[in-house]
Amino acid sequence: MEVIRLVNQLRKCEDDVFQVWLCRMRKAGYSDSPGMNRREFCKRFDSVMSALEEVYRSPQKTPFARPDGVPHIFAKEIIEELSPGKNGGLDLELFLVYFKTMISCIEDRIPGINLTSEQTTDAVLKLRKIADLTEMHAIADWKRYRTVESGTIKGPPAQTTSEKILGAIFMSVGDGILLVDEDYEIVKANQRSCEIYGLPQQNIIGTDIRSLAEDTGAELLTQYFEELIEGQRKSAEITCLYVDGKSFPATVTVTRSDFDGKRHWPIIVRDDTSRKALEMQLRQEKQQTEEMNMTLKTVMKSIEQDRKDFENRVAAKISTSLLPSLKKIEKAPEANVRKSYLALLEEQLVSLTTGFEKELDAGLLKLTRTEIEVCKLIQAGCSSKDICEAMSLSFDTIQTHRKNIRRKLALNGKKLNLHAFLMNRNL
């Protein structure tokens, strides 16, 4: 029962152990090394816990080797997970640092479990025995892996130039690129995809791709994973989730690629936040432009109608008033009659200006040339003295002109000065 409680307590501390292990590995300068993610750590941590259980359950046997020298099953699992050259490009040095740091972090947790001092010491010794035997088998496995044939050491193949170029392109492209395995977990991600989702490399690896999308998008991705055949591609616009839970629009392109006998799905992710904002701005500007065009059309239509109305009004006055007056003047035998018709015609011509900014005044047509000059000076704000000097006339003469102007303009007896009257008149 004590071993079950020990292992269960250690499993409950798995998250804390991972964080401490990750911190120590980063401080040692291994932050960008292969296998630095939660998913791989959990699998290896579970293997160590299984081996620890076996040590307690079979104390009479060495859990890592049988009499025939064949490694025990639990040792085999650890070696397969951690041995160099078999998982993620680990070399011997990285393997030893990785595994020993994990054992050290687990060992630090044992004193915190409610055990007697003898039980604590026993647990630490068994954990160290697991570490020593695992290290021994890993080194032996590495030596078998790097055998000498014909004077050439065979080891993990070095990256070719083309592989390095493809790797550099993969990490530097502008869109996010993810590689998802059959468990729908991310096994590889470029830098741009980490920026899109706000997750560091070590955290995004091992994450279920469906957890990075809202429900509808997750269902659509699952559908693509099930339906796509090798080489087929599908794209869709979905809503993705940032690390803080905020959503953003994205376009995902999913392709199926099978290799090593397993299905994989490369996914290209494009953040559409800026594009969507620009589309919204363009739609708003288009709507505003259409509204302005409608308003302008209405104004132009109103102006055109006003112009037609004015033309019709002028044409009607000419045909109904002016032309008949001209015929009467032409037929009138006496000068007095013609003079009366001319006065009537004058009034009718003035009436045509109704609706202009400044209307003509029939009285202004009765003024003499000198009186018009006086009116212009009065309109300009000149006093009688100024007018005398400007026109080289006496004061009495100017006063006489003013009286005649008021009489002709029908201003006698009205409390309205000439300057105010003439301000809105065309001279």
What are the C-alpha distances in Å from 301 to residues 12, 136, 294, 311?
A: 79, 95, 10, 15
280's CB contacts (< 8 A; 6+ apart) are none
pLDDT digits (tens, 9 = 90+) for 34-61: 667 788 788 888 888 888 888 777 655 5
Q: Please state the φ and ψ torsions of residue 147, each to the nearest 5 degrees.
A: -85, 155
pTM of the model as a whole? 0.39
Residues 3, 12: Cα–Cα separation, whole Å: 14
Which of 168-182, 251-265, 315-329, 409-423 shows the highest mean pLDDT?
251-265
pLDDT for residue 247? 92
Residues 419, 427: Cα–Cα separation, whole Å: 13
Q: Tell me which of 159 and 27 has the higher pLDDT.
A: 27
> What is the number of other CB atoms lying within 10 angstroms of the CB of residue 306?
11
For range 299-307, the mean pLDDT: 87
Which region among 140-144, 219-223, 297-301 has the lowest average model confidence (pLDDT)?
140-144
Domain assignments of the chain as residue spans, ordered by start: 2-153, 161-271, 280-352, 358-427
Q: Which CATH superfamily is domain 161-271 in?
A: PAS domain (3.30.450.20)
What are the C-alpha distances in Å from 381 to residues 398, 412, 417, 425?
A: 15, 21, 12, 14
Q: Tell me which of 92 and 248 has the higher pLDDT.
A: 248
Pairing outcome for strands 152-153 and 257-259: unpaired
pLDDT for residue 88? 47
For range 114-132, the mean pLDDT: 82
Contact 31, 200 (CB under 8 A): no
236's CB contacts (< 8 A; 6+ apart) are 217, 220, 224, 251, 252
Q: What is the CATH number that goes with domain 358-427?
A: 1.10.10.10
Dihedral Cα 19, 21, 25, 31, nearest 10 deg: -40
Q: Tell me which of 368 and 425 has the higher pLDDT.
A: 368
Q: How confident is the model at residue 123 (pLDDT cuts 50, 70, 90)?
A: confident
> What is the number of other CB atoms lying within 10 angstroms of the CB of residue 259?
8
The encoded tokens of residue 131 equal 């570490």
Nearest Cα residue to 190 out of 249, 255, 267 = 267
Which region among 25-39, 74-88, 129-143, 171-185 has the lowest average model confidence (pLDDT)?
74-88
pLDDT for residue 254? 93
Residues 242, 220: Cα–Cα separation, whole Å: 18
Q: What is the mean pLDDT of the chain?
A: 79
Same fold, 161-271 and 358-427: no
Chain centroid offset of residue 110 CA = 49
For range 312-316, the mean pLDDT: 81
Q: Is 130 exposed, middle or buried (0-12, 13-18, 19+ CB in 10 A)?
A: buried
Q: How confident is the model at residue 416 (pLDDT cuts 50, 70, 90)?
A: confident
pLDDT digits (tens, 9 = 90+) for 320-364: 767 777 777 777 777 776 776 777 677 667 766 665 545 556 667
For range 382-398, the mean pLDDT: 90
Chain centroid offset of residue 105 CA = 43
Q: Tell me which of 361 and 249 has the higher pLDDT.
A: 249
For range 104-128, the mean pLDDT: 84
Question: What residues form DSSP beta bridges with 250?
Answer: 238, 271
Q: Tell me which of 75 and 182 has the higher pLDDT.
A: 182
User: Which H or E run contains 289?
Assistant: helix 273-317
pLDDT for residue 66? 42
Nearest Cα residue to 265 out of 251, 277, 247, 253 = 253
Residues 101, 25: Cα–Cα separation, whole Å: 8
Question: Is the predicted pLDDT of residue 215 greater than 90, yes or no?
Answer: yes
pLDDT digits (tens, 9 = 90+) for 130-174: 877 777 777 766 666 555 333 444 454 555 565 565 566 666 667
Question: Is the predicted pLDDT of residue 64 greater than 90, yes or no?
Answer: no
Question: Is the predicted pLDDT of residue 87 greater than 70, yes or no?
Answer: no
Question: Is the predicted pLDDT of residue 71 greater than 70, yes or no?
Answer: no
Contact 224, 216 (CB under 8 A): no
**Quick one: what percent of the chain has pLDDT higher than 90?**
19
For range 188-217, the mean pLDDT: 90
